Structure 1
Amino acid sequence: MSVFKKLKSFYLPYKKDFIWSTLFLMIMAGITVVYPIILQLTIDEVVLGGQYSWVPWISLGFIVVMAVKGLSAFIQHYLADMFGIKSVYSLRNALYEKLQRLSFSYYDNAKTGDLMSRLTADVEGFRFFVSFGFAEVLRFVIVVGASLCVMFYYSVSLTLVTIMALPFISIAVYKFDKAVHPAFRGIRESFGRLNTKVQENISGIHTVKALSKEQVEIERFNQSNQDYRSKQLYTASIWAKYFPLMELIGNISVVLLLGFGGYQVINGSLKPGELVAFYSLIWYILWPIMHLGFTINMFSQAKASGERLLEILEAKETIFDEEDVRSSEKIDGHVVFQNVTFQYQNEDTHALCQISFEAPSGSTIGLIGATGAGKTSIIQLLSRFYEPTSGDILIDGRQIKEYRLKTLRSQIGVVLQETFLFSSTVKANIAYGNPEASMEEITDAAKRADAHDFIMELPDGYNTMLGERGMGLSGGQKQRIAIARAICTNPSILILDDATSAVDMETEFHIQQALQEVMKGRTTFIIAHRISSLQHADEILVLDNGSIVERGTHEQLLASNGAYRRIYDIQYQDQKTIMQNAAR
C-alpha cells in the first residue's frame, strides 16, 4: 500500500465522500446477509412449521429490505464515483503542474507518448480503484465477517468444516497477486511505448510520406503492438491458471458443506432451512474471496499506474528559485560568462568548455559555428533551462540564480530554431508571452517582424485560427510570428536562435532591417549559419567543439584569415557561383 500512502494527499481531502459511501456500503452488505435468514425462516417456520400467517410479514419485510438496498446502492455508487473523480482531478492537476516545473534535462530523456499515457490511461486506472477498489475490499470484509457470524450462530462445527478450504484459497490469491502485478506493470509500460510510436508517427507523417517509409512505420508499429499483445496474453494466462484453481477449492468447501450439513440435518442437529441458509452464506464467503482476484486485478493495475505517476511527481526539479532570490525587477541586460563549462546529462563530452565573454547592455553578440559547436547551449544556460556544470553566469553583476525564474525569463525574448505555434489565433500566439498586450502592441510587433502583411491576407486576419503546430503556414511565416511573439514581450535580452533560417534572402533582409530598430537598447544574441545575419554584431564568437576559437567584429575576423574567414569564403563563393550560373 506504499503507493497509495504516497498519493494520499490527493484523496484524503475528499474523505467525507468516502466515509458516507462506506456507510451506505455497510448497509448494503448487512442487508445482503439478511436474505439467507429470510430464506431460513420461510423454510423452517412457514413451509415446515405451518406458520402461514408469517407470509405477509416476510413478504413485506423482503420488499422493504430490497428497497433499502437499492437506494443504498445508488447513493453508494454515486458517492464512490464522486470520491474517485475529485481525487484524480487534483492528481491530474498536480501532474500537469509538475511537468511545467521540470527542467529540460527531464524532457531530454522523456517520451511524449509515454507521458500522455501516464496522464490519461494511468490516471484513469488509479481512479477506477479509488472509486471501486476500496469499496470492494470493504464489501469483502463486511460480507465475509457478517456471513461467518451468522454461520457460527447456526452451527459452529459445520462452519469450521466448511471454512477448512479457505486458507488454500488465500494462498492461491496471494500467489496470484505476486504474479499479476509485474504483468500489469509490463502492460502499462508497453502501452506507453505504443503510444509514443503513434505520437511520433503522426508528428513526423510528412517525413514518412516524403521518404515513402509507410511500410517501415507499419512494421515498427506492428512490433510495438505485438509486444503489447504478448504482455496482455501473458497476463491472461495468469488469470487462466489461478482463477479455475480458486473456483475448484471453493467447490470443495461446498461439497464439505453439503456432506457434513446433510448428515447434521438427518441427525436433527441442524434444520433444513438452516442448511439452505448455510449454502447461501458459504457462497457469500466464497464468491468474494474468488472475486478478490478481480479486486487484486484492479489493485495491481492501480498500483502499477500509481508507480508510474509517482515517477513524475517525485522527479527531481533541478531548476528552481533559490530561497534568497530577488523580487521582480527590471533587467538592463549586461551579461557575463565566466569560465562556464557545461555537460548534458548522460553524455561523456562537454557541450561547453571554459566559455568566457562579456555582453554589455544594449550590445549585439553573434554566435557562429558548426552544428553541435555549443551555440544553442550558451543561450539555454542564459535562460536557465539548464545549470552550468561549473563557472558563473552574471546578469547586471548578479548570479542568474539570484533572479526569480519568472523575472529572468519574462525579460528574455527567445526565438528558437524550431518554431512552435499553438492551436489558437494568430493574435493569441503573438501575445502569448504578454497576454495583456494591446492590439496596437501586437500589430506593431508583427510589423517589426515583417509579418503584418501576410497576416492581413489570412481569412480572419489576426483572429485566424491556426492548425496544430501552425499547420497552414509556411516555415518562414511561422518564424516571423515567433519573432513577433518575442518582440511583444518587450524583453531586455533578445535571443535569435537561427531565427531567419526558414525565410528567403529577401525576406531575411527585410526582417534584419526591422530587427535593427528592435535591437536598439536590448542585449541581443544572434545564432546564425548565415554571416549576413550577424555581420553587424558588436562582437562575434566563433565556436568549435564547445570552445571559443575566435572572437571579434566582422571586419576583424575577416582580416584574421581563420575559421570565420573560411565560412565567409564558402558562403559568398557559393553565392558568386549561383550568380555566374544564372548569368549564363
Structure 2
Amino acid sequence: MNFIRKPFGYEPIVTKEDLKKDNKKKIDKPSDWKGVLTRIWKLVDEQRFLLIIVLLMVVASSALALLGPYMIGVIIDEYITKAKFAGLAKMIGILVFVYVFLSVTMYLQSYWMIGISQQTIYRLRTGLFNHLQKLPISFFDKRQHGELMSRMTNDIENVSQTLNSSFIQVFSSILTLVGTTVVMLMLSPLLTFITLTIVPFMYFAMRWITKRTSKLFKEQQKAVGDLNGMIEETISGQRIVKAFSQESRMLEEFSVKSDRLKKTGFWALIYSGFIPKVMNLLNNVSFTLVAAAGGILAFYGYVSIGEIVIFTEYARQFTRPLNDLANQFNTVLSAIAGAERVFAIIDEKTEVDAAMDNKNYKLKGNVTFENVTFQYNQDEESPTIQHVSFHVEAGQTAALLGATGAGKTTIMQLLARFYEVNEGKILIDNIPIDKLPRQTLRSQTAFVLQDPFLFEMTVRENIRYGKLNATDEEVLEAAKEANAHEFIKKLPNGYDTVLTADGGEISQGQKQLLSIARALVADPALLLLDEATSSIDTVTELKIQEALERLMQGRTSFVIAHRLNTVQKADLVFVMEGGELVESGSQEELVKQKGRYYNMLNNSKK
C-alpha cells in the first residue's frame, strides 16, 4: 500500500486494486478464546463479590425452574388423578410461590449483572481511550481514524451486549442442562437415553455451523471497521473530495467496502440462522420420541401420567438450554472478535521515556542536529532525511526552505519526538533529546500548523487549550497579541461562542489567529511553524505576520514557508533538497554564496 504525506504524518492511499486484493485475502483464523476471556475476567476483579451473588441467584433460579415441573407432576399423580382435594390448594400455593420467587431471582440476577457489565465495559473503554493517548503518532499515521472509532464503539458495544445477557444465559443453561439430566436419570434412565439420542446430531450440526460463523463474524467486524473508517475520512475531507471532483471515486470505494460487509454479513447471518431451525427440529423430534415412548411405558404401567408430564417438560427443558447455548454462541463469537480487536490496540507499544531525570527541566531553546538520518518505513529506498547537521541558538529563528518532500516537516516531527532518529543525535540545550521526557519537551513546545485544528468548544476554551490553567485575563491578552480580539468580539457570544469541530463559523485566517493565540498562552520555549501563512489573503496575512513576530520574540523558532517574504527576518536559513541540508547560514551569507537560496530570491521577484 502506498502512503501520502500529510502535515506531521503519513496516511495510506486506498486504491481499487488494494480493495480487490483485500477481498481475496484469506479470512483470519478464530480468536484466542482463552486469552480474550481471561483478560475480560480480570476486568471484573473489582466486582467479584457481586458476581458471586449473581451466580447464586442463577443457581437458585435454575433449581426453582427444575422444581416447578416436578411439583406439577406430583400434583397430577397425588391429587388430580386420585381426586384428592385435601391439601391441593396448599400445593398450588407453594407452586405459585416457586414461580414468583423464580421471577424475583431472575430479575435480581439480571439487574445486578447489568451493573457489573456496564462497570466492566466502562473500565475497558476507559482503558482503551487512555492507551490511545499514550500511543505514538506513527500508530495513527497508518490507520484510518474511523476504523479506530469503530473499535471504541461497535466492538466494545458487542462485548457489552454479551456481558449483559449472554453470561447469565450461558451459566443458567449449563446448570439447567446438568440439573435436568440428573433428575431425568432419577425418573427414568430409559427415557433419558431416548432424549440423549439427539445430542450427537446437535453436536455435529453445531460444529459444522460454528466452524463457519466463527470466521465470518470476525471478518464482519473487520469489514465494519474498514467501512466506518472510509465514511469518517470522506465526511471529514468532503471539501477536498468536491474540490477535486472525486465523488465518483468515493462512491466506487464505498461500494467495494460496503459490498464486502454485505457479503460477510450475509453469510454470517445465513449460517447462524441455521442454529434455531436445526435446534427446533431436533427439539421436536426429541419431544415426539419421549411422548411416544412415555405413552407406551404408561400403557404397560411402567410410569405414571404425572411422571410422563414431568419427563416431557424436562425433556423440553433439556433441549431448551442446548438451544440457548447454540444461539448465544454466535453472540459470544462476535463479542470475542470485538474484544480481540480492542485488546490488539491495548497491546500496542506506547511511547516510553527511558529517562526521567530531566522531568522538570526548563528549556532554553538551543537546538543541535548531529548527522541525523531518518526514514518512516524501513522498506523505503532512501531515507527521508540523511546526514542533517545544524545548530540554532536559543531565541533564534530558523527558516526551512525546499520543495515538497525535501524533509522540512520531518525535522519538525523529530524535534517534537513524534519519531525517533535512526542515526545521529538531536540535542536540546546539549541534552540528548531522548533524555528529555516527551511531556517535558512538548509542554514547552508550541505548534502553528498550516491547517489549524479547533475543538468543538468555546473560543475561550480553544485558546486555553495551550495552557489549561490559564486565567481569563491571560486568554484575553493572548488573543490581543495574536490580533484575534477584534473578530472574537464580533462573534455572537464573543469568547463564549461555541465553535464546531472544523471551525466552519470563522475564516481560515481567523482560525490561524486563534491557533497563534493558543501558542501565545502556552508561552513555549520552542516554536514550530508549518506553512502558517499559506492560503491566506494579504490583509489577514499581515495580521498573522504581526502576531507571529510577537509570538517568536525571544523564542527558538523553526519556520517552514514557501513564500520567501515570510522568512525575511529569519536569523538562519536552511535549504533542504532530497532529504539533505544543501545550504545553511544567515541570509546575508547565503546571498553572497549565490547558490540555491540566492536563486530562490531572484525567482520570487520575477
State whether TM-score is above 0.5: yes
Q: How far apart, CA to CA, are the structure 2 residues paired with 1:413 and 1:362?
A: 14
Q: How far apart, CA to CA, are the structure 1 residues paired with 2:64 and 2:402?
A: 79
Given the two structures, how large is their TM-score scaled by the length of structure 2?
Answer: 0.91
Q: Pick the aligned partner of 2:365 from 327, 333, 336.
A: 333
Change (3 A) 1:355 1:533: same
Q: Pick the aligned partner of 1:507 from 536, 540, 548.
A: 540
Q: Pick the aligned partner of 1:206 from 239, 242, 254.
A: 239
Q: Matches of residues 72-111 of structure 1 in structure 2 within 5 Å?
A: 72-111=105-144
Is it true that 1:436 corresponds to 2:469 in the alignment?
Answer: yes
Partner of 2:185: 152
Instruction: Give the partner amino acid of 1:425.
Output: T
8 A Cα contact 1:353 1:546, kept in partner = yes
Deviation of residue 71 (structure 1)? Answer: 1.3
Is it true that 1:114 corresponds to 2:147 in the alignment?
Answer: yes
Secondary structure of the residue that 2:365 maps to in structure 1? coil
Q: Pick the aligned partner of 1:397 from 430, 446, 451.
A: 430
Change (3 A) 1:8 1:352: farther
- The farther-off stretch of 490-499 and 221-230 is 221-230
Count the aligned residue pairs. 572
Change (3 A) 1:95 1:234: same
Partner of 2:509: 476
Is it true that 1:43 corresponds to 2:76 in the alignment?
Answer: yes
Q: How far apart, CA to CA, are the structure 1 residues paired with 2:121 and 2:80?
A: 53
Instruction: Give the partner amino acid of 2:472.
Output: M
Change (3 A) 1:216 1:546: closer
Partner of 2:324: 291
Q: How far apart, CA to CA, are the structure 2 residues paired with 1:377 and 1:213?
A: 29
8 A Cα contact 1:15 1:83, kept in partner = no
Deviation of residue 329 (structure 1)? Answer: 2.1
- The farther-off stretch of 120-129 and 160-169 is 160-169
Q: How far apart, CA to CA, are the structure 2 residues paired with 1:238 and 1:335?
A: 62
Instruction: Give the partner amino acid of 1:227.
Output: R
Q: Matches of residues 6-17 of structure 1 in structure 2 within 5 Å?
A: 6-17=39-50
- The farther-off stretch of 513-522 and 364-373 is 513-522
Q: Pick the aligned partner of 1:368 from 401, 406, 412.
A: 401
- The unaligned stretches of length 5 or more in structure 1 are 574-584
Instruction: Give the partner amino acid of 2:484.
Output: A
Partner of 1:536: 569
Secondary structure of the residue that 2:604 maps to in structure 1? helix
Deviation of residue 119 (structure 1)? Answer: 0.6
Q: How far apart, CA to CA, are the structure 2 residues paired with 1:514 and 1:267?
A: 103
Secondary structure of the residue that 1:394 maps to in structure 2? strand
For residues 468-505 of structure 1, give each alpha carbon's deviation from its aligned partner in whole angstroms, at most 9, with x where no partner exists. 22111111111111111111111111111111113233
8 A Cα contact 2:369 2:390, kept in partner = yes
Secondary structure of the residue that 2:99 maps to in structure 1? helix
For residues 434-453 of structure 1, give each alpha carbon's deviation from its aligned partner in whole angstroms, at most 9, with x where no partner exists. 11212232222222222222
Q: How far apart, CA to CA, are the structure 2 residues paired with 1:262 and 1:466?
A: 77
Q: How far apart, CA to CA, are the structure 2 residues paired with 1:324 and 1:411?
A: 16
Instruction: Give the partner amino acid of 2:542.
Output: F
Partner of 2:352: 320
Deviation of residue 263 (structure 1)? Answer: 2.4
Q: Pick the aligned partner of 2:458 from 425, 430, 445.
A: 425
Q: How far apart, CA to CA, are the structure 2 residues paired with 1:469 and 1:382?
A: 27
8 A Cα contact 2:275 2:327, kept in partner = no
Partner of 2:603: 570
Change (3 A) 1:435 1:285: same
Q: How far apart, CA to CA, are the structure 2 residues paired with 1:207 and 1:538?
A: 36
Secondary structure of the residue that 1:469 maps to in structure 2? coil
Q: How far apart, CA to CA, are the structure 1 residues paired with 2:41 and 2:197?
A: 37
Q: How far apart, CA to CA, are the structure 2 residues paired with 1:471 and 1:516?
A: 27
Secondary structure of the residue that 1:386 maps to in structure 2? coil
Deviation of residue 242 (structure 1)? Answer: 4.5
8 A Cα contact 1:173 1:292, kept in partner = no
Partner of 2:104: 71
8 A Cα contact 1:265 1:271, kept in partner = yes
Partner of 1:54: 87
- The farther-off stretch of 434-443 and 214-223 is 214-223
For residues 166-185 of structure 1, give each alpha carbon's deviation from its aligned partner in whole angstroms, at most 9, with x where no partner exists. 13312322333222111111
Secondary structure of the residue that 1:537 maps to in structure 2? coil
Q: Pick the aligned partner of 1:386 from 395, 408, 419.
A: 419
Q: How far apart, CA to CA, are the structure 2 residues paired with 1:262 and 1:9?
A: 51
Secondary structure of the residue that 1:7 maps to in structure 2? helix
Change (3 A) 1:346 1:128: farther
Deviation of residue 35 (structure 1)? Answer: 2.0
Deviation of residue 91 (structure 1)? Answer: 0.7
Partner of 1:176: 209
Identity value in percent: 34
Partner of 2:168: 135
Secondary structure of the residue that 1:79 maps to in structure 2? helix
Partner of 1:192: 225
- The farther-off stretch of 221-230 and 378-387 is 221-230
Q: How far apart, CA to CA, are the structure 1 residues paired with 2:379 and 2:144?
A: 18
Is it true that 1:26 corresponds to 2:59 in the alignment?
Answer: yes
8 A Cα contact 2:198 2:282, kept in partner = yes
8 A Cα contact 2:516 2:551, kept in partner = no
Q: Pick the aligned partner of 2:156 from 123, 131, 135.
A: 123
Partner of 1:445: 478
For residues 166-210 of structure 1, give each alpha carbon's deviation from its aligned partner in whole angstroms, at most 9, with x where no partner exists. 133123223332221111111111111221222122112223344
Partner of 1:550: 583
Instruction: Give the partner amino acid of 1:370.
Output: A
Q: How far apart, CA to CA, are the structure 2 residues paired with 1:428 and 1:347?
A: 42
Secondary structure of the residue that 2:400 maps to in structure 1? strand
Deviation of residue 213 (structure 1)? Answer: 4.6
Q: How far apart, CA to CA, are the structure 2 residues paired with 1:400 and 1:323?
A: 11
8 A Cα contact 2:355 2:437, kept in partner = no
For residues 7-47 of structure 1, give each alpha carbon's deviation from its aligned partner in whole angstroms, at most 9, with x where no partner exists. 33322222223222211111111111112112211221122
8 A Cα contact 2:516 2:547, kept in partner = no
Deviation of residue 69 (structure 1)? Answer: 1.3
Q: How far apart, CA to CA, are the structure 1 residues paired with 2:580 and 2:40?
A: 46
Q: How far apart, CA to CA, are the structure 1 residues paired with 2:165 and 2:275?
A: 23
Secondary structure of the residue that 1:541 maps to in structure 2? strand
For residues 404-452 of structure 1, give each alpha carbon's deviation from its aligned partner in whole angstroms, at most 9, with x where no partner exists. 2211101011112221001111111111021121223222222222222
Partner of 2:10: none
- The unaligned stretches of length 5 or more in structure 2 are 1-33
Instruction: Give the partner amino acid of 1:525.
Output: F
Deviation of residue 547 (structure 1)? Answer: 0.6
For residues 142-166 of structure 1, give each alpha carbon's deviation from its aligned partner in whole angstroms, at most 9, with x where no partner exists. 1111111211111122212321221
Secondary structure of the residue that 2:478 maps to in structure 1? helix
Q: How far apart, CA to CA, are the structure 1 residues paired with 2:294 and 2:540?
A: 95
Q: How far apart, CA to CA, are the structure 1 residues paired with 2:439 and 2:313?
A: 66
RMSD of aligned Cα (Å)? 1.8
Partner of 1:4: 37
Deviation of residue 382 (structure 1)? Answer: 0.7
Secondary structure of the residue that 2:554 maps to in structure 1? coil
